[in-house]
């Protein structure tokens, strides 16, 4: 199973084996990773699952679509070029090694 590393706002790290076809958001929720609120449950309507793709990440990611880009305009934390919505990152084997940093605030 691919491993996704979550860097929490306090700097602690959580490495989680994530089954393929599971979103980075779902894996965080199911493994009690704090900081990804996911108020809409992953239906691309709230932007409370905002993460930053860490520079150390070796994962191959798809480009965000127009809907994700639009929601990223309204995130609570600073939007950066490496900002993504974790509900839109569905894990594949090519995403092994993904490292995401959770912003200090979501709402």
Backbone angles phi, psi at 88, to 5 degrees: -95, 0
At 86-100, the pLDDT tens digits run: 999 999 999 999 999
Lowest mean pLDDT among 6-10, 31-35, 56-60: 56-60
Pseudo-torsion of CA 65, 70, 75, 77, nearest 10°? Answer: 70
C-alpha to C-alpha distance for 16 and 103, rounded to whole angstroms: 18
When pLDDT is cut at 50, 70 and 90, the band that residue 66 belongs to is very high
C-alpha to C-alpha distance for 46 and 49, rounded to whole angstroms: 8
Q: Is the pLDDT of residue 107 over 80?
A: no
At 26-48, the pLDDT tens digits run: 999 999 999 999 999 899 999 99
What percent of the chain has a predicted confidence (pLDDT) above 90? 89
Max intra-chain CA distance, the chain = 33
Give the Cβ contact number of residue 96 at 10 Å: 16
Q: Where are the domains of the chain?
A: 3-101
Please list the helix, strand and coil fractions of the chain in percent, rounded to the nearest 5, in that order.
Answer: 20, 20, 60
What pLDDT does residue 102 have? Answer: 98
Under CATH, which number does the domain 3-101 receive? Answer: 3.10.20.30
């Amino acid at each position: 199973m691919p491993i996704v590393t979550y860097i929490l706002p306090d700097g602690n790290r959580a490495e989680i084996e994530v089954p393929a076809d599971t979103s980075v958001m779902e894996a965080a929720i199911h493994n009690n990773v704090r900081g990804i609120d996911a108020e809409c449950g992953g239906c691309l309507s709230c932007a409370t699952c905002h993460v930053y793709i860490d520079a150390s990440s070796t994962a191959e990611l798809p480009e965000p679509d127009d809907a994700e880009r639009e929601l990223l305009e309204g995130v609570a934390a600073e939007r950066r070029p490496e900002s993504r919505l974790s509900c839109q990152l569905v894990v594949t084997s090519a995403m092994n090694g993904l490292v995401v940093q959770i912003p200090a605030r979501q709402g």
